[in-house]
């Protein structure tokens, strides 16, 4: 699937989300410079997307910025293969659920295997926010900052239901249209959200939240809830900012990639390690 907005937007977006960017298994790292340069930017895609979803963003990032983009298991080989379920899942998916803790462990191993050293700025889209938070909670000393791109933040579904909004859960019938990788991620969301209920241990990690200025299914009420929840979530962190990106839908990396790039570069500059004295 190409889009996910928890709450009323889930059904509408997921039902119409089989077109768009093709996910391919890519893990690429730009050359890493000497101490005093940027931390590595790690890109975590949303539901159904892989590294290729970030191509418009990578096109506007500086060529010398260290970037690591990866695809979670099951999203390799292009959209057609994903839909028929030929992408290989992780052994840890055997219980039918993929949790944030599991994704974090796999990403950590991939970074180690690729010899990509910390610190990292984690940039995540949609449901990928929960995976970035899971990584930060598991490896806080390795995370220099978090940039969320129109994120589906943990706890939003519960808030949606509390506000009396409709379609706060993905209809079960709709999961039948999903790929195996998407199904295990959806089934793991509740456990992932529960594990992220208390984020006080990482509240000092700098956070930037970019929310889309348009396109929330459900109209103005859902848009207001989406933006309001992001602002409330940000207040749980010591150094956090929220920006509504006008002219962008949920796929901000396609609609307004330069807005994301600006947020990444600001975070990278703020968290860059000082160069050693000469």
Q: Are 69 and 58 a contacting pair, CB within 8 Å?
A: yes
Task: Determine what percent of the chain is predicted with pLDDT higher than 90.
Answer: 70
Nearest to 14 by CA among 52, 43, 49, 44: 49
The full set of domains in the chain, from first to last, is 9-271 (3.40.50.1820)
Which is more confident, 82 or 149?
A: 149
Cα–Cα separations (whole angstroms), residue 150 to 45, 191, 274: 11, 21, 31
pLDDT at 6 over 90: no
Sequence-distant (≥ 6) Cβ neighbours of residue 273 within 8 angstroms: 35, 36, 37, 39, 119
64-121 pLDDT, tens per residue?
Answer: 999 999 999 998 655 444 444 446 899 999 999 999 999 999 999 999 999 999 999 9
DSSP assignment letter at 41: E
What is residue 38's predicted lDDT score, i.e. its pLDDT?
Answer: 77
pLDDT at 250 over 90: yes
Q: How many other CB atoms sit within 10 Å of the CB of residue 202?
A: 21
pLDDT at 13 over 80: no
Q: β-strand 120-125 against 67-69: which pairing, if any?
A: unpaired
**Residue 10 banded pLDDT, cuts 50, 70, 90:** very low
Q: How far apart are the first and last CA of the chain?
A: 51
Which is more confident, 138 or 164?
A: 138
Strand extents, DSSP E, the chain: 28-29, 40-44, 67-69, 120-125, 143-149, 207-212, 240-245
What is residue 276's predicted lDDT score, i.e. its pLDDT?
Answer: 54
Task: Determine what percent of the chain is predicted with pLDDT higher than 70.
Answer: 79
């Amino acid at each position: 699937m190409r889009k996910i907005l928890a709450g009323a937007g889930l059904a509408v977006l997921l039902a119409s989300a089989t077109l768009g960017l093709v996910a391919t298994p890519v893990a690429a790292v730009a050359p890493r410079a000497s101490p005093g340069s940027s931390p590595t930017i790690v890109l975590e895609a949303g539901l159904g997307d892989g590294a290729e979803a970030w191509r418009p963003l990578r096109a506007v990032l500086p060529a010398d910025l260290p970037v690591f983009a990866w695809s979670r298991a099951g999203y390799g080989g292009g959209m057609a293969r994903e839909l028929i379920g030929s992408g290989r899942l992780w052994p840890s998916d055997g219980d039918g659920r993929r949790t944030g803790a599991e994704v974090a462990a796999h990403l950590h191993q991939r970074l180690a295997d690729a010899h990509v050293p910390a610190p990292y700025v984690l940039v995540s889209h949609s449901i990928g926010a929960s995976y970035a938070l899971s990584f930060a909670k598991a490896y806080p000393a390795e995370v220099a900052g978090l940039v969320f791109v129109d994120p589906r933040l943990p706890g939003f579904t519960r808030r949606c239901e509390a506000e009396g909004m409709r379609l706060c859960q993905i209809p079960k019938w709709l999961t039948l249209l999903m790929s195996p990788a998407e199904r295990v991620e959806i089934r793991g969301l509740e456990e992932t959200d529960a594990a992220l209920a208390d984020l006080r241990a990482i509240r000092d990690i700098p956070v930037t939240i970019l929310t889309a200025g348009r396109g929330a299914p459900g109209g103005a009420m859902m848009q207001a809830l989406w933006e309001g929840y992001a602002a409330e979530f940000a207040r749980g962190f010591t150094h956090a900012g929220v920006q509504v990106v006008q002219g962008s839908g949920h796929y901000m990396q396609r609609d307004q990639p330069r807005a994301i790039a600006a947020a990444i570069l600001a975070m990278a500059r703020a968290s860059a390690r000082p160069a050693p004295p000469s």
